[in-house]
């Protein structure tokens, strides 16, 4: 399994896929999943994107096969997470990427675009609110505030089962029962404390794209669900207007549009990338 060790001591698990013509120059897409998930959730995207691009999928802090912070007494902050992302690119010898972030992974992308614009060709956020505020935290706490208490009390499988329900995953898709079994198995790969370490970062008051929105200057695409319990469409429209980004509304009640509406999202994403050439 491919791992990188950062100066912080944290270990990152990643996938590196590319099936483009090896004699032609290839740009890189960097994929950052959302809260509770991991790189495997992007299985529908790799065959499509890796035909033309190098695709790096990185398991986030404490998620999938990546480690939690090495020192539990020194919690991570937003800049520390960004430092590990930049170090991942440095160790892989990648100067610039098209950043593709889902949900909270997209918020990290907002901060990265504001802080390190020289490392991005473009920024795409997919089902990403501007912040993971009180309403979102309460939704995923299931009456056990704070959210870390919900994760510890319920355990990853039961907490994941509740998340699956409120996020509307697979709604109206007629998916087999095996899909949910697989989804929950992926949710249970990391440790409870690893997921809680990530939660502590995304629940910080300074984890709010409103704080950096005026600093985002890279080309930007916003893929937004029309009726997600976590994403406010008016906020997305305001965001797109401020940064001069392209907003694409995906008609669905599911939050996980990258998964439930993968083909629609992929088509719009590829058109956006083509427009940058």
Q: What is the CATH number of the domain that holds 50?
A: 3.40.50.1820
> What is the pTM for the complete model shown?
0.97
Residue 174's pLDDT band (boundaries 50, 70, 90)?
confident
The answer to whether 49 touches 18, Cβ cutoff 8 Å, is no
Is the residue at 145 inside a domain?
A: no
Is the residue at 159 inside a domain?
A: no
Query: Token pair for residue 231?
Result: 């994403």
What pLDDT, on a 0 to 100 scale, did the predictor assign at position 94?
A: 98
Is the residue at 138 inside a domain?
A: no
The answer to whether 225 touches 171, Cβ cutoff 8 Å, is no
Is the residue at 195 inside a domain?
A: yes
pLDDT in tens, 204-263: 999 999 999 999 999 999 999 999 999 999 999 999 999 999 999 999 999 999 999 999
Is the residue at 162 inside a domain?
A: no
The answer to whether 126 touches 106, Cβ cutoff 8 Å, is yes
Is the residue at 166 inside a domain?
A: no
The answer to whether 3 touches 12, Cβ cutoff 8 Å, is yes
- How distant, in Å, are the alpha carbons of 94, 205, 268 from that of 18? 14, 38, 20
- Total structural domains in the chain? 1
Is the residue at 58 inside a domain?
A: yes
pLDDT in tens, 54-69: 999 999 999 999 998 8
Residue 74's pLDDT band (boundaries 50, 70, 90)?
low
pLDDT in tens, 140-170: 999 999 999 999 999 999 999 999 999 999 9
76 lies in which domain range?
A: 3-131+190-276
- Pick the closest to residue 69 from 152, 160, 190, 188 (CA basis): 190
Q: Distance (Å, rounded) from C-alpha 226 to C-alpha 82?
A: 29
Is the residue at 77 inside a domain?
A: yes
Query: Token pair for residue 123?
Result: 């920024």
Q: Distance (Å, rounded) from C-alpha 79 to C-alpha 277?
A: 31
pLDDT in tens, 186-198: 999 999 999 999 9
């Amino acid at each position: 399994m491919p791992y990188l060790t950062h100066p912080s001591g944290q270990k990152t698990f990643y996938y590196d896929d590319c099936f483009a013509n090896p004699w032609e120059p290839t740009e890189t897409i960097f994929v950052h999943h959302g809260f509770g998930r991991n790189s495997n959730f992007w299985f529908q995207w790799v065959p499509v994107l890796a035909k033309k691009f190098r695709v790096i999928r990185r398991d986030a802090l404490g998620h999938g096969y990546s480690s939690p912070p090495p020192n539990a007494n020194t919690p991570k902050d937003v800049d520390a997470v960004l430092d590990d992302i930049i170090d991942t690119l440095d160790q892989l010898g990648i100067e610039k990427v098209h950043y593709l972030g889902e949900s909270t992974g997209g918020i990290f992308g907002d901060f990265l675009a504001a802080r390190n614009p020289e490392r991005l060709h473009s920024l795409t956020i997919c089902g990403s609110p501007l912040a993971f505020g009180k309403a979102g935290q309460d939704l995923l706490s299931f009456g056990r505030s704070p959210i870390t208490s919900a994760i510890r009390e319920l355990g990853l499988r039961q907490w994941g089962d509740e998340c699956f329900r409120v996020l509307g995953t697979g709604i109206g898709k007629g998916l087999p029962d095996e899909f949910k079994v697989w989804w929950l198995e992926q949710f249970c790969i990391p440790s409870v404390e690893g997921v809680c370490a990530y939660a502590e970062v995304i629940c910080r008051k300074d984890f709010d794209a409103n704080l950096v929105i005026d600093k985002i200057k890279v080309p930007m695409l916003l893929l937004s669900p029309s009726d997600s319990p976590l994403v406010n469409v008016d906020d997305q429209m305001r965001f797109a207007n401020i940064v001069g980004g392209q907003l694409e509304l995906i008609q669905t009640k599911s939050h996980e549009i990258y998964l439930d509406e993968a083909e629609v999202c992929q088509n719009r994403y590829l058109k956006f990338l083509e427009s940058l050439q």
